[in-house]
A and B are shown apart, each in its own frame.
Chain A
Amino acid sequence: MSAPEVQPGWLARHGLARPVAMAMLVLFLLVPLLPGEYWTQVSTEVLILGLFAMSFNLLYGYMGQISFGHAAFFGVGAYASAMLFVRLKTAGGSIGMLDFFLSLLAGPPVAAFAALVVGFFCVRLTGIYFAMLSLAFGELLFYIVFSWYSFTKGDDGIQGLLPPLFFQDAVNYYYLTLAIVTLAFLVLWRITESPFGYIMRTLRDNQRRAAFLGINVRLHMLINFVIAGSFAGLAGALWGPFSRSVNPGLLGWQESGVAVFMTLIGGAGSLIGPLLGSVIYTLLQAVVKMYTVYWPLTIGTIILLIVLFLPGGVLGLIEKRLKARRSAGDGET
């Protein structure tokens, strides 16, 4: 599997990382000012799926391995949270604030554990074999959830995940999601800019050389796999109360494809790229579906065009322009 076209960290190299992140944060803060509840709902989805895509990019953009089974951890997080949610609900069908947050917290550790088990096997392989094994494990987890009626409610899914009254308000749940995603973003940023993050880049560029340098390749890949899984689990935990239900489709390969699409659209060259991809993908989906049933055709065409003409995604294009401008500037002086 080839590494992403644009290398991570270029935004920081251009001194743009903070301004871009701040600009996005300000825009996200202003979303509830838009008329009607609908766009707040869409933006909540943007944030949750953005976090899911960012967690995927830890594997793809930073470690150089593509996973087609990453949604398994998104789904495991969603189910862990939902199952605890249902248990903590009162006889009247509502949930208290503390219990609600407890149920949200259940997602990441359970997803991390699932990632530890799956990752133990996956990190022994690289490239297409890593991708295929991750897909196989993803489908395995999907079928367990799909078929285990007595435990997971099978393909029915789990319904009735209505958050406490305060968070039933779309704007309040949006700001909760924004706060959690911002916090997660800062933690991910810290991780990717730490020595561990640079080891990931080394592993992406040349695993053999990294091994010669004394880096425990499998262990570092496994740690990264678990971190990515836990953040996907956090996104999944946020999904249940947002959607009011969870279902096995959240673990399926098509959901994994969503994270891949978002990362390709936004660009794997930065942490923020997948989030931008989520903005573009989710908004486009919301708008296109209002006018036509041909959404799969639309997104297929867009991905085709990006792969052919914008291999670094939208942010990759911006970087190329910036590089070109800088080269022109250097030439003039």
Chain B
Amino acid sequence: MEAKDLKWDALTEHLKLSRRDFVFSVLASGALSLAPRLAAAQAAAAPYKIGVLLPSTGTGANYMAHCIKGLPVAIAELNKRGGLLGKHPVQMVYRDTETKPDVGSREAKSLILNDKVNAIFGTYSSAVALAIQEIIHEHKVLHFAATSNSSKITQENYTPYTYQFCPDSNMQSGAVVVAVSRMAKKNNWKSYVSLGQDYEWGRDTHKGFTTGLAKVSPEIKEARQMWFKLGETDFTSYITAIMAAKPDFMFGAVAGKDAETFMQQAGQMGLFKRVPFPGGLIAVNDLKAQRKTLPRGIIGLARCPFFAHLKEPIMQAYIKRDRAAFGADGYPDDWACMYYDALGGLEQGAKKAGSIGTEAIVKALKGATIDTCRGKRAFRDCSNQLEVPSYVGEVWDSPDYPFPIYKPDTMVLVEAKEVWTPTCQEVEQLKKKRA
């Protein structure tokens, strides 16, 4: 003890400190040296919360089923790598929007204010997306849209916090225009009839198609347009009217459960044998759900069909993982694929920013090129719209899958750059002023 005290005395005298001051100094410096480690440990534990706003009831629920069950699997895989930046585990909070804008707004508020989410993934309906954009912009929360594809989301209602991973309605219509004009030349088509869902997406898609086709092939005329309400169950009168009009082909802006019902009834009534129907939305989930009834040879439109990108390593890994999780038939559909890309976009945005901060990710993703299931794709600088293609092809029975896919030699992949409308200058003028 005495020897120790002598050492203490020598040390404190040498440092010109009292024993008490010395002890405090050592403790303080120890605490200071530990602080960065403690902070790092705390940062490692800080989770990144994602709020998922998709419908599990109402219109669109059948389209979103694979996304809702697939996202947790993708997130678990991401968390195996440590999460965002390898240290922020991702947590997912799911809420049902019921495909209603008011419910979407309410749940967005709940996710942001109550669950303190850092980003929102969703929604299915464009009307819901437009409503929640007001909330996410006000609270400065990231928004990754990958199904709702009204062009207004990234143009008129633009906010720097929204990123679009799905080809928008203009791009999809443009893709159908490109495909139809090629077919029209080949088959000498002159007239068509339009059938659409009477809501924003249907109107927007129809407008994009008719305007685009009038520019490319002005000789082709629209003989008639028909609109039906969402949730229609009896298409007999529409099908009869289309057949009576005897058009060279028909254009359809029909999606979700309504598309399934229409296809079944039109197939049974022999519509597709008499009137070609190029460009109706036929996603992978439609190909799977209607594998027995879908007329072969019908020409469909898709947004992210896995079979178009089988050579992409990300797509290969994604298919393998989802089939392992959901069985042999568990091929991801277009919607799940786009949300998977959204998650990848978030991960790459955080990596590029070196931070999980919202503003840092916004800055990092501005005009960025990211790796996706659909290859390397860049965000359009003026609108945060990802430069993704649309797919048009003939439904065909493949020996490799238990459901039909698009016949490879008929598939037209229309790149975003072929159908970019409007120009970035026009987009800037469309953007509304936000207070």
Listed in ascending order, the chain A residues whose CB lies under 8 Å from chain B are: 36-38, 41, 45, 89, 91-95, 143, 146-147, 149, 154-157, 159-162, 168, 243-245, 247, 249-250, 286, 289-290, 293, 295-296
Q: Which of A37, A94, A156, A293 contacts B152 (CB 8 A)?
A: A156
Q: Which residues in B have their C-beta under 8 angstroms from that of A143?
A: 229
Q: Which residues in B have their C-beta under 8 angstroms from that of A146?
A: 198-199
Q: Which residues in A have their C-beta under 8 angstroms from that of B126?
A: 156
CA–CA, A240 and B101, complex, Å:
12
The answer to whether A159 and B106 have CB atoms under 8 Å apart is: no
The answer to whether A157 and B131 have CB atoms under 8 Å apart is: yes
- Most interface-central of B135, B203, B435 (chain A CB within 10 A): B435
The answer to whether A93 and B432 have CB atoms under 8 Å apart is: yes
Tell whether A93 pairs with B434 under 8 Å between CB atoms, given A147-B198, A162-B134, A245-B130. Answer: yes
Q: Which residues in B have their C-beta under 8 angstroms from that of A160?
A: 134, 157, 432, 434-435
The answer to whether B203 and A149 have CB atoms under 8 Å apart is: yes
CA–CA, A162 and B110, complex, Å:
18
The answer to whether A156 and B150 have CB atoms under 8 Å apart is: yes
CA–CA, A322 and B107, complex, Å:
39
The answer to whether A159 and B203 have CB atoms under 8 Å apart is: no
Q: Which of B101, B110, B157, B229 contacts A290 (CB 8 A)?
A: B110
B415 at the interface (CB under 8 A from A): no
B94 at the interface (CB under 8 A from A): yes
Residue in A closest to B95 when the chains form the complex, CB atoms: A289
Interface residues of B in 310-337 (CB under 8 A from A): none
Tell whether A293 pairs with B109 under 8 Å between CB atoms, given A159-B130, A244-B135. Answer: no
B407 at the interface (CB under 8 A from A): no
Tell whether A293 pairs with B113 under 8 Å between CB atoms, given A155-B199, A156-B130, A162-B134. Answer: no
The answer to whether B107 and A154 have CB atoms under 8 Å apart is: no
- Most interface-central of B102, B110, B115, B434 (chain A CB within 10 A): B102
The 8 A CB mask of B423-435 against A (1 = contact, 0 = none) is 0000000001111
Q: Which of B134, B150, B229, B433 contacts A92 (CB 8 A)?
A: B433
CA–CA, A231 and B434, complex, Å:
31
Q: Which residues in A have their C-beta under 8 angstroms from that of B198?
A: 146-147
A-B contact pairs, 15 of them (CB 8 A): A36-B114, A38-B113, A146-B199, A155-B127, A159-B130, A159-B131, A159-B133, A159-B134, A243-B102, A244-B105, A245-B131, A249-B101, A293-B57, A293-B94, A295-B96
How far is the CB of A71 from the nearest CB of chain B, in Å?
11
How far is the CB of A117 from the nearest CB of chain B, in Å?
23
B355 at the interface (CB under 8 A from A): no
Number of interface residues of B (CB under 8 A): 36
Residue in B closest to A45 when the chains form the complex, CB atoms: B106
CA–CA, A159 and B156, complex, Å:
11
The answer to whether A38 and B109 have CB atoms under 8 Å apart is: yes
Q: Which residues in B have their C-beta under 8 angstroms from that of A289?
A: 95-96, 107, 110
Main secondary structure, interface of B, reads helix
Q: Which of A36, A244, A290 contacts B134 (CB 8 A)?
A: A244
The answer to whether A247 and B131 have CB atoms under 8 Å apart is: yes
How far is the CB of B305 from the nearest CB of chain A, in Å?
27
B290 at the interface (CB under 8 A from A): no
CA–CA, A288 and B342, complex, Å:
28
B138 at the interface (CB under 8 A from A): yes
How far is the CB of A188 from the nearest CB of chain B, in Å?
24
Residue in A closest to B114 when the chains form the complex, CB atoms: A38
Tell whether A94 pairs with B435 under 8 Å between CB atoms, given A156-B152, A162-B134, A244-B135. Answer: yes
The answer to whether B200 and A154 have CB atoms under 8 Å apart is: yes
The answer to whether A245 and B101 have CB atoms under 8 Å apart is: yes
- Most interface-central of A37, A38, A91 (chain B CB within 10 A): A38
CA–CA, A295 and B96, complex, Å:
9
Q: Which residues in B have their C-beta under 8 angstroms from that of A154?
A: 199-200, 203
The answer to whether B138 and A244 have CB atoms under 8 Å apart is: yes
CA–CA, A162 and B433, complex, Å:
12
Supplied contacts A37-B113, A38-B110, A247-B127, 7 more A-B pairs, CB within 8 Å: A156-B130, A157-B131, A159-B130, A160-B134, A247-B102, A289-B110, A290-B114
Residue in B closest to A242 when the chains form the complex, CB atoms: B105
CA–CA, A247 and B102, complex, Å:
8
The answer to whether A293 and B56 have CB atoms under 8 Å apart is: yes
Tell whether A247 pairs with B101 under 8 Å between CB atoms, given A93-B435, A162-B435. Answer: yes
B100 at the interface (CB under 8 A from A): yes
CA–CA, A92 and B203, complex, Å:
29
Q: Which residues in A have their C-beta under 8 angstroms from that of B199?
A: 146, 154-155
The answer to whether A249 and B100 have CB atoms under 8 Å apart is: yes
CA–CA, A293 and B427, complex, Å:
38
Q: Which residues in A have their C-beta under 8 angstroms from that of B56?
A: 293
CA–CA, A161 and B434, complex, Å:
10
CA–CA, A245 and B129, complex, Å:
11
CA–CA, A160 and B229, complex, Å:
27
CA–CA, A94 and B127, complex, Å:
22
The answer to whether A93 and B105 have CB atoms under 8 Å apart is: no
Q: Which residues in B have their C-beta under 8 angstroms from that of A92?
A: 433, 435
The answer to whether A36 and B113 have CB atoms under 8 Å apart is: yes
The answer to whether A157 and B110 have CB atoms under 8 Å apart is: no
Q: Which residues in A have their C-beta under 8 angstroms from that of B106?
A: 45, 243
CA–CA, A290 and B94, complex, Å:
9
CA–CA, A161 and B102, complex, Å:
14
Residue in B closest to A156 when the chains form the complex, CB atoms: B200
Q: Which of B57, B114, B135, B435 contacts A296 (CB 8 A)?
A: B57
Q: Which residues in B have their C-beta under 8 angstroms from that of A94?
A: 435
How far is the CB of A246 from the nearest CB of chain B, in Å?
9
CA–CA, A210 and B21, complex, Å:
94
Residue in A closest to B105 when the chains form the complex, CB atoms: A243
Q: Which residues in A have their C-beta under 8 angstroms from that of B109?
A: 38, 41
